[in-house]
Amino acid sequence: MSYGYNGNILHVNLSTKETLVEHPEEGFYRKYCGGRALALYYMLKEMKPNTNAFSPENLLIFATSVIVGTRAPAINRYTVCAKSPLTGAQGESEAGGFWGPELKMAGFDAIIIRGCSEKPVYLWIKDGQVEIKDASKLWGKDTGEAQSLIRQELDDSRIRVALIGKGGENLVRFANIVNELSHFNGRNGLGAVMGSKKLKAIAVRGNNKINVVDPEKIKEVTRAYAKRVMENPLSKGLRDNGTIGFISGGNQEGWLPTRNWTQAGFEKDEHYNIKTFNKKYLKKVESCYACPIACKRVVEVDDGKIRVDRMYGGPEYETAVTFGSLCGVDDLTYICKASELCARYTLDSISTGVTIAFAMHCFEKGIISQEDTDGLELKFGNKEEMLTLLEKIANREGFGNLLAEGSQRAAQKIGKDAEKLLRVGKKQEIPMHDVRVKTGLGLQYALADYGADHMKAAHDPFFANKDSWGTKEMGGIGIYEPVSPTDIGEKKVILFKKLDIYWSLFDILGICYFGWVPRGIGSLEELLDIINSITGWRTSWYELMQVAERSINMARIFNLREGFTDKNDTMPEVFYENLKGGKLDNTGAIDKEDFEKAIKTRYGLMGWDEKSIPTKGKLIDLGLDWLIEEVERIE
């Protein structure tokens, strides 16, 4: 009997309409565990290098993990992987919500999708049975309507649906996938891959219980965890104010990205007042599966002009900053509307907001004019134009069609120095965290194989001094020495090597960052107890960290095969300049030479050569000897 996992991986070919269930051995589950590690295994084994992201040969993989689906707290996430149409690299994104646990309870650990349907379809998975169903009537519908129609057709309101809106259907290169209308697999265009396969949705329903070895231990840890939620400021703050509650603090500290990163700090701080937001917009808080924290926001607006539907949840930190200070917009009603539209159409809110801010910056600089923008006056702060442009991107209409390619491709077409205004890492628009005040995150922006992402490691302030939560709680994986958030020396590189591996493990196992150390209230000891109580493996941090390191090496090799090199491990030039405006005015520039040296040091720590190619010894050590020939071909 297997514990924690089903032993079933579903393969679906949308071209031939064939399905097949694979039953890997326990050793496979122990070596790859789920998420990105499992997905990369199939991507490297079954995809040829330089596969077009929109071709039938691109694999679209949905993977849960060996521990998702029990009632253990804040362990509910799943991963989607494919080659990214935005970056051309390994694409990857994790989402919370309810879909991952439901897939496990429906009898599958992962779904590997290949091929391309001629007509729109959706997958219907229930208790081990799989059907490919016609989705012609759903194509073109917003996510809310499509989800309702699927539930009506299948006559079950408890079905969980992961789906795309018109952003994915129209192959916007940063389209995402959403489940429960407000939990996103965002960033690198995996919704567009789904659209290219004419796959509107995957609906799942399961009645099976996940077998675990020690249910009593899981209950004991879960009860103790739930007791602490309202006592600990980390979880209480998230529950009371969500991630949007952090914005004003960042602004007052002097680093909030503003007007396409030309300023650090937004003069309209009152606009981000969390008390006003909670009073005026917040209708309720929601949670993901089996999480007592409940950090998700639900907003509603109807001011006669703008109506925001509460079924699409509400803005998180990133969305509120990209459509707020980054575009120079000081009206939360418009930010809530932008957030709703991104959920309706499945557009990544970071890439959409950053791309619009980039276009506004080009307009302000005279690089583009109203002749280029379909008559839109794209000045910073023009909130009506911001929403109009968002709609145009989703519909690939006029100027929106150019921006739907992502800001880097748009800049290349626009020319005239537009590229100088880009804020991207591996063609992916950067998130709303200024790495001049947290340099370790800068390393992660540069090194992330799936493009710059704020979820690639814990952030530096959790290790700032000896009393910081991360420094105090993470001795079990060798982290106990504080490092200044702005340090970029060897100590920082060592810290972030460990954090990168640890965070990758979270992605593999489906663990929410907000629930466990260093960002949450669950301890390392409790987490290991949970993993062992579910699987019965008597595993260790050593074994688990090796699983994660394996995935990092596989991602690197996938990208090397696609032509990426050490030259792609960069971050935007703006971070080598001082912050402008705000409390930190004229300070903060990262020394480029120091940063590049840190990147090379990191390669060494990972067992990679100067060009970031994993050494043969490292691959053997990680049990990846099956990739040695692949690496030799790259060299």
| Interface positions with ligand SF4 (CB under 6 A) | 74, 76, 96, 287-288, 291, 293-296, 512, 514-515
Alpha-carbon distance of 9 to 3, in angstroms, equals 15
Q: Which is nearer to ligand SF4, 79 or 407 (CB)?
A: 79
Q: How far is the CB of 72 from ligand SF4 (least distance, A)?
A: 11
Q: Which is nearer to ligand SF4, 295 or 402 (CB)?
A: 295
Q: How far is the CB of 294 from ligand SF4 (least distance, A)?
A: 5
Q: Which is nearer to ligand SF4, 88 or 515 (CB)?
A: 515
Alpha-carbon distance of 338 to 389, in angstroms, equals 10
Q: Which is nearer to ligand SF4, 288 or 505 (CB)?
A: 288
Q: How far is the CB of 512 from ligand SF4 (least distance, A)?
A: 3
Alpha-carbon distance of 428 to 450, in angstroms, equals 8
Q: Which is nearer to ligand SF4, 204 or 285 (CB)?
A: 285
Q: Which is nearer to ligand SF4, 180 or 549 (CB)?
A: 180
Q: Are 425 and 572 in contact (CB under 8 A)?
A: yes
Q: Which is nearer to ligand SF4, 316 or 340 (CB)?
A: 316
Q: How far is the CB of 295 from ligand SF4 (least distance, A)?
A: 3
Q: Identify the three-state secondary structure at position 561.
A: helix
Q: How far is the CB of 181 from ligand SF4 (least distance, A)?
A: 14
Closest to 87 in 3D by CA, of 406, 342, 354, 358:
406
Q: Give bridge partners of residue 125 from the DSSP assignment.
A: 130, 204
Q: How far is the CB of 221 from ligand SF4 (least distance, A)?
A: 16
Q: Are 577 and 571 in contact (CB under 8 A)?
A: no
Q: Give bridge partners of residue 190 from the DSSP assignment.
A: none
Q: How far is the CB of 314 from ligand SF4 (least distance, A)?
A: 13
Alpha-carbon separation of residue 571 from 18, 179, 428 (angstroms)? 43, 31, 11
| Alpha helix positions (H), 47-170 | 99-105, 143-154, 166-169
Q: Which is nearer to ligand SF4, 380 or 502 (CB)?
A: 502
Alpha-carbon distance of 116 to 485, in angstroms, equals 47
Alpha-carbon distance of 313 to 216, in angstroms, equals 34
Q: Are 229 and 239 in contact (CB under 8 A)?
A: yes
Q: Which is nearer to ligand SF4, 521 or 613 (CB)?
A: 521
Q: Please, which residues have CB within 8 angstroms of residue 626's CB and are 6 or more apart in sequence?
A: none
DSSP run (H or E) holding 126: strand 121-126
Q: How far is the CB of 313 from ligand SF4 (least distance, A)?
A: 11
Strands (E), 430-583: none
Please report where in the chains the tokens 């949905």 appear, as a residue.
62
Q: How far is the CB of 521 from ligand SF4 (least distance, A)?
A: 10
Q: How far is the CB of 298 from ligand SF4 (least distance, A)?
A: 12
Q: Please, which residues have CB within 8 angstroms of residue 169's CB and are 6 or more apart in sequence?
A: 139, 140, 195, 200
Q: Which is nearer to ligand SF4, 30 or 228 (CB)?
A: 228
Q: Identify the three-state secondary structure at position 4.
A: coil
| DSSP code string of 392-414 | HHHHT-THHHHHTT-HHHHHHHH
